[in-house]
Amino acid sequence: MDSDLYRNVTDFAHDTPSWVQHLFELWTEVGLVLFGVLFVVGWWRARRDGSSAMALALLAPLATAAAYICAEVIKSLVDEERPCRAVKGAAAPLITCPAHGDWSFPSNHATIAGAAAVALALAWPRIWRLTVPMALLMAFSRVYVGVHYPHDVAVGLILGTAMAFLVAKAGARPVTSLVESMRTSRVGAAAWFAGPGAPLHARR
């Protein structure tokens, strides 16, 4: 439905300097690793916050995993061929076109990035200034390198965002209770993992 836009983006990609192309090729994978690092930083930061903040920090990677699973289920139902194989007259992709059977819709990378960006922002509100641009750049990079249609990444971002809110809403109460139990546990590892929480005067 948006083959012309795909061609425009991939033509633009080939017109950019080689160092820009290499940066996008790197970002399309390294960005996922950076989201993983932010999950760890968010958890560590939440160890001294309230139990609800810790719960959201723990739910962030779970929401991202749930979004990925949903994307994989949709892929198996839609069976959309990759644009690097299906769009005639398009510029060659900057990276290897995934094999036939590795379907295009929706983009796993965009779904993961959208879920991670929003889930992290729910746990750590000010981080959205970093995570949202990261997610948008991740989504664009998948079209730029030539392996997704624009609608693949747009739907991926929406799906990831929806799953982040859904998992946070559904899991906040039970995971908060779990965190409170861990923080008062006699098991040292559990108490350390959940952290001491905010001081009493900071909770008022």
**Can you give the pLDDT at residue 204?**
45
Tell me the CA end-to-end span of the chain in Å, nearest whole number: 54
- Of 68, 139, 148, 154, nearest to 108 by C-alpha is 68
**Can you give the pLDDT at residue 201?**
47
| Long-range contacts of 123-127, Cβ-Cβ distance < 8 Å, separation of 24 or more | 123/42, 123/46, 123/53, 123/56, 123/57, 123/59, 123/60, 124/42, 124/45, 124/46, 124/57, 127/38, 127/42
**Can you give the pLDDT at residue 199?**
62
**Can you give the pLDDT at residue 151?**
94
pTM confidence score: 0.90
**Can you give the pLDDT at residue 61?**
95
**Can you give the pLDDT at residue 186?**
86
In angstroms, the Cα distances linking 179 to 4, 37, 48, 106, 196 are: 50, 21, 12, 34, 10
pLDDT along the chain (204 residues), means of 10: 87 94 92 94 92 94 96 92 90 90 92 96 92 95 94 96 96 93 88 78 48
